[in-house]
Structure 1
C-alpha cells in the first residue's frame, strides 16, 4: 500500500503553511481544534441503521439512486466535502490506489458522495483519476440520515470566502452545509454495518481500516 493518508496530510499541511494567507490558516486551525474538542456527534447513526435509497446525481448530472449504484452489492461509501478540499483529494486518490482492486475481488462497491454539484463530482473524478462512482447528494439526504451534516461557523466561512470558496455556488442545495468525512460499510440491503466519522476533516479513515471492517462485517 502507498503512504498512509496521515503522512500525506502532514506533508500537505506543511506545504499549505507556505502558500495560504496566515490569517485564514489560523482561523482554519482554530476550527480544527474546536472540532477535535467536540468529537463525534451523539446522534451519529450506529451499525444496524438502514440508509434510505436516496435520489442522487452522477458526475454528469444524470439521476441515479444509491441502490442502483450499489447494484445489489455490499458497498463502502465515502462521504467527502468536495473537490475544493485538498484533504478529500488525498483520501480519494489513496482509496483508488489501495482499495479498488481489493474491494473488486470481494464484490464490494466503492462509492464517493458529497453535497457538491455534479460538475464538482466530475472535477473530483478527473483530477484524481478515479474509476469508482462519484455522486452528488443534493440536500445531504444521506448525510442527514447518518447524522454527519455540519455547518462551518461564520468566522470559518469568512476565511473560506477569502480563499475563493463560495458554498452557495459549490453545493447542490445552495447552503454552506458540509458532511463530516465518513466511511461506512453497508450490506446489500443498505444497512450500515460499520461507520467511522471524522469531525476534524484533516483526518481520514485509512485503507487498512476499511479492508479490516469489510472483512469483519460483509466478507
Structure 2
C-alpha cells in the first residue's frame, strides 16, 4: 500500500468517527490554507536552500553544511508527534531509508516540537535518521512553509489534547506545511514538494530517481 493510500485510509476512518462540527473546522482551515497559494510560493527547484544548525533528538547539533558536504540531503518537514499523518509519513521514510542512503544521500526530518518530543518520536516509531527541532518554526519560515493556525482550529486542537504551546515550547500556534526537499552538495534545491493539505504527502519512492541522478553526476 502506497503512503497516500495509507493516509487516505486513516482519513476515512477518522472522518467516520469525528463530530461534524469538528470536521467542518478542520476542512475549512485546510481549504483556506490551500487557497492562499502559500505552498506554491514556497522555495522551489533552483532556489538556494537556507542553512541550518538544529538540535536533534540525541542532543547533538546537526549542521546542514556538514550534511551537504557529504552528499545530497533529503529534508522532510512534518507537524509533530501528535499528527498521525506525519507518523505514517515518517514510517514510510524509514522504510525507504536504505534506498535513500544507498544513493549517497542523507535524510533529516524537521518539526517545531521540542527535542524531548523529537526523542519520543524516534523511540515510538523506530526511526534511524535525525529528527530535528526547529524552535519557532524559524527554518520552516525561511523555506516559506510556516503558517499560523486560525483561532477556531487552535481551540479545537486544544480540546482534542493537542496543546501546541506545550508540545513545541512556544506560543505562536504556527506549524510547517508538510514539505519534502532534496538539496544537492552546493545547497541548491533539486526537488520540492509542499502541500497546504496535511493529508497529502508524496511517496518517498519519488525521491529515488532524483537522488540516483545526482549520484551519477558526481561520479
Q: TM-score, normalised by structure 1?
A: 0.89
RMSD: 2.0
Change (3 A) 1:39 1:4: farther
Per the alignment, residue 96 of structure 1 pairs with: 94
Give the helix-richer structure, 1 or 2.
2
Matched, 1:168 2:162: no
Q: Does the residue aligned with 1:140 lie in a helix, a strand or coil?
A: helix
Asked if residue 79 in structure 1 is aligned to residue 77 in structure 2, the reply is: yes
Provide the C-alpha distance between the structure 1 equivalents of 2:55 and 2:6, rounded to a whole number of angstroms.
Answer: 30
The whole-number CA distance in structure 1 between the counterparts of 2:190 and 2:145 is 16
- Closer, same or farther: CA 130–71 of 1 in aligned 2, 3 Å: farther
**Candidates 39, 49, 58, aligned match of 2:56:** 58
After TM superposition, the structure 1 stretch with the greater mean CA deviation from structure 2, 175-184 or 46-55, is 46-55
Q: Aligned pair in 2 of structure 1 residues 71, 174: CA closer, same or farther (>3 Å)?
A: farther
Alignment of 1:128-147 (within 5 A): 128-147=125-144
Q: Measure, in 2, the Cα distance between the counterparts of 1:172 and 1:43.
A: 28
Aligned to 1:16: 14
- 8 Å contact from structure 1 (residues 194, 217) kept in 2: no
**Native 8 Å contact 2:68 2:186 kept in 1:** no
Q: Structure 2, unaligned stretches of length 5 or more? A: none
The residue aligned with 1:187 is 184
Number of aligned residue pairs: 216
Q: Which residue of 2 aligns with 1:117?
A: 114
* Shift, 1:85, TM fit: 0.7
Aligned counterparts of 1:141 and 1:156: Cα–Cα separation in 2:
22
1:209 equivalenced with 2:206 (yes/no): yes
SS of the residue corresponding to residue 131 of structure 1 reads: coil
